[in-house]
Amino acid sequence: MTGPPSVSPHVDVLLGAYVLGALAPAEEARVAGHLAHCGTCRITYLDMADAQALLATLSEDDLLDLLGGPGGSGRPGGGTTP
């Protein structure tokens, strides 16, 4: 039998919501506390935060182009509507 872990379990499943500010206060505190001691999760968090900041600079048209949505360059015909 093993004892309780000496550090909190990884919080990677909560990091996306943490970046977006969508966690309940108790979960937010848990993630913040974990990030203070876990370099692995902290690196993942920083990568997610950077990605979120970059996405926030894109317009709807930019996103559609990247994702190939209606009018996006990912459509056959170079993004033009027939």
The domain that holds 61 is classified in CATH as: 1.10.10
Asked if residue 76 belongs to a domain, the reply is no
The span from the CA of 35 to the CA of 7, in Å, is: 11
What is residue 10's predicted lDDT score, i.e. its pLDDT?
86
Count of Cβ atoms closer than 10 Å to residue 31 Cβ: 21
Asked if residue 39 belongs to a domain, the reply is yes
Q: Which domain holds residue 25?
A: 12-67
Number of domains forming the structure of the chain: 1
Asked if residue 49 belongs to a domain, the reply is yes
| 56 Cβ contact list (under 8 Å, min separation 6) | none
Asked if residue 2 belongs to a domain, the reply is no
Asked if residue 37 belongs to a domain, the reply is yes
What is residue 70's predicted lDDT score, i.e. its pLDDT?
65
Q: Are 34 and 8 in contact (CB under 8 A)?
A: yes
What averages of pLDDT result for each successive group of 10 residues across the chain (82 residues)?
Answer: 53 94 97 95 96 92 82 51 48
Asked if residue 80 belongs to a domain, the reply is no
What is residue 72's predicted lDDT score, i.e. its pLDDT?
56
